[in-house]
Amino acid sequence: MTPWPYPAYIAHRGGGALAPENTLAAMRVGFGHGYRMVEFDVKLCGDGTLVLMHDHTLERTTDGRGRVAALTWGEIARLDAGSWHSAAFAGEPVPRLDSVARFLIANGVACNIEIKPCPGRERETAAAVAVEAQALWAGAEIPPLLSSFSERALEVAGRAAPDLPRGLLVDEPAEGWLLRAARLGCKSIHLNHRHATPERIATARQAGFRLLAYT
């Protein structure tokens, strides 16, 4: 098994439940609590800018409405992505990938970028994330780990930036899950913790994969 540069514990969406997810504030909170790796979601907005956002729509985590893919960066940049969490984070903006990259690199924090395409945008989102991540982390000691539930996205990312490691996100393993990860050239499999049985962990490791559990 190849060397693995990433720490064992990863802060989900930056700061877990302690801060508004997928914001710079969340990254600061995770870092402040001692985490040296964070996970976050990235998708394309309407003008091709890469932004941190989990949902395809804005309502749950911002004061905006509608589809992320239908808005420009200028429109998204004006949204409040913090008040839904608590008054302490009122006015926290939706960040772009490049601003998060600068913070993480400056503070020596590794990351897992989940490619989270809006419906029908798997190919363009994956290519954009891979190319921009490769440029932003050029020369970094630890490269970003790209992951996705979308096999098409991982395939495209692998062609666009073959040197960046990739991980296949899996909820409940179906037949051929390890073969699919191998075909995609993945280094890791990210498995729902409810299905991370000792047998599956052992099988994945025997096949040469690192296994990460998400909650």
**Is residue 195 among the annotated active site residues?**
no
- Single out the catalytic residue among 12, 33, 85, 195: 12
Q: Give burial (CB, 10 Å; 0-12/13-18/19+) of 56.
A: middle
- Single out the catalytic residue among 33, 54, 56, 190: 54
**Is residue 12 among the annotated active site residues?**
yes
The residues assigned a catalytic role are 12, 54
